[in-house]
Amino acid sequence: MPDRPLKLGTRASPLAMAQAHEARDRLCAAHPGLKVEIVPVTASGDKVLDRPLAEIGGKALWTKELDAWLLAGEIDFAVHSLKDVETIRPLQIAIAAILPREDVRDVLVGAASLAELAPGTRIGTSAPRRAAQALHARPDCKVVGIRGNVQTRLAKLEAGEADVTLLALAGLNRLGMAHFGTPLDPEEWLPAPGQGAIAIEARAADDRTRALLAAIDHAPSHRAVISERALLAALGGNCHSPIAVLTQEQGEELVLRAALLSPDGSERVEGTARFAATDLDGPARLAGELLSKAGPAIREHFDPPAR
């Protein structure tokens, strides 16, 4: 056991703080007597809310301050919503644990279903996946960009900046706000890669902290999200790439279903792969299949690595 409190870094948003408290509570329960101090930071992504994330630096805006603190030794580990963590991470940083994954569904706030939306309804989102899926399902509606944490987006909806919006049910559950909105069927509306998963990162060389964190790693959740991130890496997607994924574990196998869309939703390709959870090439095979079927309007938003 360390002779001082471990420092846990987190974004300062209400949801991030709720996730940090969950991580601390699980870790302290696994190691009685361990002390953990939560250290919040206001991330760059929380400071600029009037432009899409992809235009101002992408997912790194959620992680760069915590990465710097972690590498400088100012914190011992950091907690993130995994869907907000860029696919390629610094070699000095490792995902040490994934907490049990929450509900992966998105929630529609402001209407009971996509089908009931009136033509011209303004759907508020800055997420390329959500925008593309919404326009694919309802090309007669309009997407307007709104960003911010859960409370900010709900306030923008109340202020009339959009007619409906989309949120992750996992975040609402963690904030005690599960009564908001209508969950969308994940078989019809695919989630984001990593959605619902809390990732805990530590310095790759910090064996002691990683050993402590291993006690709260949820292996099924870890296997699922690592496969989803392997798919992202093989696709060469970025913050402009509409990618949607649903992972299901069946026995010792994973069933990975994914869809790629053009940003305007007019084109969509989908595929499913079944492979052993230990088969790290399974996601790459699915990525190749999807890209081979995709037209130029989709492929131009992906840059797969040479194999």
Q: Which residues are catalytic?
A: 84
Are 79 and 8 in contact, with CB atoms under 8 Å apart? yes
The span from the CA of 241 to the CA of 235, in Å, is 10
Residue 161 buriedness (CB in 10 A; 0-12 / 13-18 / 19+) = middle
Which DSSP state fits 138? Answer: -
The span from the CA of 93 to the CA of 71, in Å, is 8
- CA quadruple 201, 148, 25, 38: dihedral positive or negative? positive
The span from the CA of 157 to the CA of 163, in Å, is 6
Q: Detail the DSSP E strand segments found in the chain.
A: 6-11, 36-41, 77-81, 93-98, 106-109, 122-124, 142-144, 164-168, 182-183, 198-203, 243-250, 253-261, 268-276
